[in-house]
Amino acid sequence: MYPSPAAAHIVRPLFPSKVGLSFNSKQHKVKGSQMEVTGTDSDGREFKNAEEMWREQTGDGTKKTQWYRDGVSYWQGVEASVDGVLGGYGQVNDADIKGSEAFLQTLFSELFVDGGLGRHLVALDCGSGIGRVTKNLLIRYFNEVDLLEPVSHFLDAARDSLINENHMASDTHKATNFFCTPLQEFTPDAGHYDVIWVQWCIGHLTDDDFVSFFMRAKIGLKPGGFFVLKENVARNGFVLDNEDRSITRSDLYFKELFSRCGLHLYKSKEQRGMPKELFAVKMYALLTDMPRNISKTRSKTQVNRPGIII
C-alpha cells in the first residue's frame, strides 16, 4: 500500500502492489536519525540516506513545485471510486474502517471525558478523497466533518455522496466544509477541531512540509484534541514511489518527524486484515501535550451513533 500523493495536496488512501514485499530497504545502525538510513525507489535504486533523496527530488524551488504537481497529476487520472482511491484494492475498505473505528473508540474513551458524550465534536478529514472515511466512519462520531482534498473531481464526488445524494443526512452529524487545498498549503482555524484525521496522504509531503503542516495544524485543535495519522509503513528506511511522487517511511522515520513537530505519541496500533503483498499500515494517536492524568473513568453508556450512511 502506498501513501497518497503529497504532491501538492493529495490525500489518498492506500496505494499498493508496486511496493509490497519487494522493497526491502536496509537500515544502518547509526545514531538513530532517519536522515542516516538508506532507502530505495520503485525502480530499485538505492539512496544512501533520506537527505540525498530529498536533495535530488526537491532540492530547489523548481524541483519541489514539480514534485507536488506530478503527484496531483497522478491522482487526477484516477477514477473517483472506492476502488480507484484505494489503488485497485477496494476490498480492503471494510477492514480499514473497522480497524480505524476500534482505534477511535479507544481514544474517545481514554481521552474525552465521558467518551465525548454531550460535546459538539468536529473533525477534519485530511486527504479525504471521495469522502470514504468521512462517510463510513467520521460522520458517525462527529457532529461536523470538514474535508480537505486537493483533487477537485474527488472532492466533487465526496460532496455529491455526502450531501446531494444523501437524503438521510442528519442535521446533527454532517459534512460541513469541502476545502480543495493541498495539505502543505492548508492552515485550519484556531481551536476548531477535536480530531484531525490524516490518512494515506502524508507520504506526498517532504519532511520539511510534514513538520510545517503539523506545526500549523496543532493550532487548529481544541484543548484536549488530537491527531490520528494512518499510513503505510516501510520495514526500514524509506521507499520512494517514482510514479505518484510519494514516500513510504519506516516507523522510526515517522517517530523522528513526530519529535521534530513537537508531538507526543500517545498510542499506536497496526491495522489488521490487509493483503500480504501490501505495506503494513499503522495508526498513530498524536497529542500536542502528553496529559498528566488520563481519566480512568470510561463511559459505560453506549453512544447512540447514526448508522453507516449508504
Average pLDDT over residues 218-243: 97
Three-class secondary structure of residue 281 per DSSP: strand
165 pLDDT band, cuts 50/70/90, is confident
Confidence (pTM): 0.86
Model pLDDT, residue 224: 95
169 pLDDT band, cuts 50/70/90, is low
18 touches 243 (CB < 8 A)? yes
| pLDDT surpassing 90 at residue 3 | no
- Largest Cα span, the chain: 57
Model pLDDT, residue 16: 38
Average pLDDT over residues 106-119: 93
Give the containing element (helix H, strand E) for 199: strand 193-199
Model pLDDT, residue 191: 98
| pLDDT surpassing 60 at residue 254 | yes
107-137 residues labelled b (16+ CB within 10 A) or e (exposed): bbbbbbebbbeeeebbbbbbbbbbbbbbbbb
| pLDDT surpassing 60 at residue 123 | yes
Please list, in sequence order, all residues whose beta carbon lies within 8 angstroms of the beta carbon of residue 244, skipping any fewer than 6 positions away: 2, 4, 5, 7, 10, 15, 70, 71, 74, 75, 204
Percentage of the chain with pLDDT > 90? 77
| pLDDT surpassing 70 at residue 4 | no
Model pLDDT, residue 199: 98
Q: How far is CA 82 from CA 117, 166, 189, 232, in A?
A: 31, 17, 30, 18
**Cα 263 versus chain centre, distance:** 15
Cell of 10: 493529495
Tens-digit pLDDT profile for residues 61-78: 999 999 999 999 999 999
Model pLDDT, residue 17: 33
Please list, in sequence order, all residues whose beta carbon lies within 8 angstroms of the beta carbon of residue 262, skipping any fewer than 6 positions away: 215, 218, 288
Model pLDDT, residue 1: 40
User: Chain-wide mean pLDDT for the chain?
Assistant: 86
| pLDDT surpassing 60 at residue 307 | no
Percentage of the chain with pLDDT > 70? 81
Instruction: State the Cα–Cα distance between residues 253 and 50, nearest whole angstrom.
Output: 10
- Identify the residue with better confidence: 32 or 104: 104
Instruction: State the Cα–Cα distance between residues 197 and 177, nearest whole angstrom.
Output: 15
